[in-house]
Structure 1
Amino acid sequence: MCVQIRAKATRRDLLEAAARLFDERGYAGTSISDISAHSGRTSGAIYFHYASKEKLALAIVEEHFATWPQLISRYRDPDRPALENLVGLSFGVARAFRDDIVVRAGARLWAERKAIDAQLPTPFLGWIEAVTHLLEAAAHNGELAPEVSPSAGAHSVVCAFFGLHTVSEALEGRRHIEEHLQDLWLLLLRGLQAEPDPAGLLDRVRRGAGHDGSPAPEPA
């Protein structure tokens, strides 16, 4: 059992060391030798746990995708308005993209997928499905504007959200992602809410601390 625990810890250390380099330098700019130097582990140890650089990159992307189901589950509170759940979830995801090295590296590796000789998971479909469910709940509860289709609205929200992340990453390394996300919701909620009150909804999410006790956006 102790051997298994040590092996799991070693794999995680290697994963995080590789993630940091992939995030900083990209896939092509990172070698196994670089990961060895950064992690303090031999190349042989890396190959023992991950058969190749491609396998290591794949493991990071898979870990990136594995982050989301647990996070989404935190924002399915049936006692809270569905649109508040959706907005709270978006800030939780934004913080993960900004602060979690494996999440950040997974996003960069997926963007560089053509350079990686491995079949990577398909992105966005799970997000569109999760947002669709939240918008369907909002429609059922009378929160959603009647002219908004949950499926079409979900597609647009996901496109806007990840577009915002792409621009924020390119211009500022996502340092101000929460402020920009608040501005986006002030715009989107005017079209999504049956009775538009974007500032009020954002304030309620802020006071609820996004369900998980982490910092939430300041009110407009």
Structure 2
Amino acid sequence: MATGTRTRQERAEATRQAILDGAAAAFDAAGFGSTSLSDIAMHSGVTKGAMYFHFHSKEALARELVAEQFELLPGAADPDVRALQRAIDLTHSMAHGLRSNTRLRAGIRLVIELGSFAEPDPTPYNQWIDSVRDLLANAQGAGDLKPEVNTGDLSTYIVGAFAGVQITSQVRTARQDLHDRVTDMWTWLLPGVVPARRLGRFAPAGSGGLRAAIGEGTKAD
């Protein structure tokens, strides 16, 4: 590849990322409905022409931010950690991202506001549910989940519960207590789905490795 071509491509990608950062800041501050393309251009520091070159509409920008949520999650799960603990860690990892990453925070807000789009898309919720269900199925196969538990129903409940917990935390404390509230969620949930003899294997506040990776304290400190 010629140097000039590579430089142009690098500049184009830098502009694209600046637009996404600006859109995230705007959506995070005001939501989808109250954000204009002018707001996004202002936050991005680019012209509307440059913005339209990369994204043909505000909806296209929003959908890109929604689609990249999983790529932005901090901290990869340790495959040696039991599957159910990895599900717990996943929610705390998302909680950390909501407190520290504007693009992730904007993406989650946009998922909640998908009803603002002409054609609401359940895909982000379904992806979350599928990811959690896979972990729960592995946990059930390992004997860490009661055999009568329906993993599809439980994963749907966990995703819905987390969505409600994070919204309540945002409204009440600007998510300052989010890890505590997620810990509460798992503290009350685990005794109902985990065999009593195995309950002590799981940390509602997140595994030690996860907590070290995200640098967050919780109630268990």
Per the TM superposition, whether the score is higher than 0.5 is yes
**Deviation for aligned residue 1:28:** 2.6
- 1:38 paired residue number: 43
Q: Could you give the per-residue CA deviations for residues 76-100 of structure 1, whole angstroms, max 9, x where no partner exists?
A: 61x3222211111111111122222
Equivalent position amino acid for 1:99 in 2 = S
Kindly indicate whether the alpha-carbon contact (under 8 Å) linking 2:22 and 2:42 is maintained by their aligned counterparts in 1.
Answer: no
Output the TM-score relative to the length of structure 1: 0.84
- 1:81 paired residue number: 82
2-structure distance, mates of 1:142, 1:198:
11
**Deviation for aligned residue 1:203:** 7.4
Pick the aligned partner of 2:58 from 48, 53, 56.
53
Kindly indicate whether the alpha-carbon contact (under 8 Å) linking 1:27 and 1:115 is maintained by their aligned counterparts in 2.
Answer: yes
- 2:3 paired residue number: none
Change (3 A) 1:205 1:65: closer
Query: Where do 5+ consecutive residues of structure 2 fail to align?
Result: 1-5
Pick the aligned partner of 1:17 from 22, 31, 34.
22
- Between the two proteins, the alignment pairs up a number of residues equal to 215
Change (3 A) 1:5 1:182: same
Kindly indicate whether the alpha-carbon contact (under 8 Å) linking 1:165 and 1:174 is maintained by their aligned counterparts in 2.
Answer: yes
Kindly indicate whether the alpha-carbon contact (under 8 Å) linking 1:58 and 1:118 is maintained by their aligned counterparts in 2.
Answer: no
Kindly indicate whether the alpha-carbon contact (under 8 Å) linking 1:139 and 1:145 is maintained by their aligned counterparts in 2.
Answer: yes
- 2:215 paired residue number: 215
SS in 1 for 2:35: coil
**Deviation for aligned residue 1:196:** 6.0
- 1:2 paired residue number: 7
Change (3 A) 1:44 1:94: same
1-structure distance, mates of 2:115, 2:163:
20
Segment drifting more, 103-112 vs 174-183: 103-112
Equivalent position amino acid for 1:16 in 2 = D
Say what the alpha-carbon RMSD is for the aligned residues: 2.7
**Deviation for aligned residue 1:124:** 1.5
1-structure distance, mates of 2:23, 2:205:
39
Percent sequence identity over aligned pairs: 33
2-structure distance, mates of 1:119, 1:158:
18
Pick the aligned partner of 2:67 from 62, 72, 75.
62
2-structure distance, mates of 1:3, 1:155:
45
**Deviation for aligned residue 1:153:** 2.0
Segment drifting more, 111-120 vs 174-183: 111-120
Kindly indicate whether the alpha-carbon contact (under 8 Å) linking 2:183 and 2:204 is maintained by their aligned counterparts in 1.
Answer: no
Output the TM-score relative to the length of structure 2: 0.83
**Deviation for aligned residue 1:134:** 1.3
Kindly indicate whether the alpha-carbon contact (under 8 Å) linking 1:58 and 1:120 is maintained by their aligned counterparts in 2.
Answer: no
Q: Could you give the per-residue CA deviations for residues 159-198 of structure 1, whole angstroms, max 9, x where no partner exists?
A: 2222212222232232211011111111111112212676
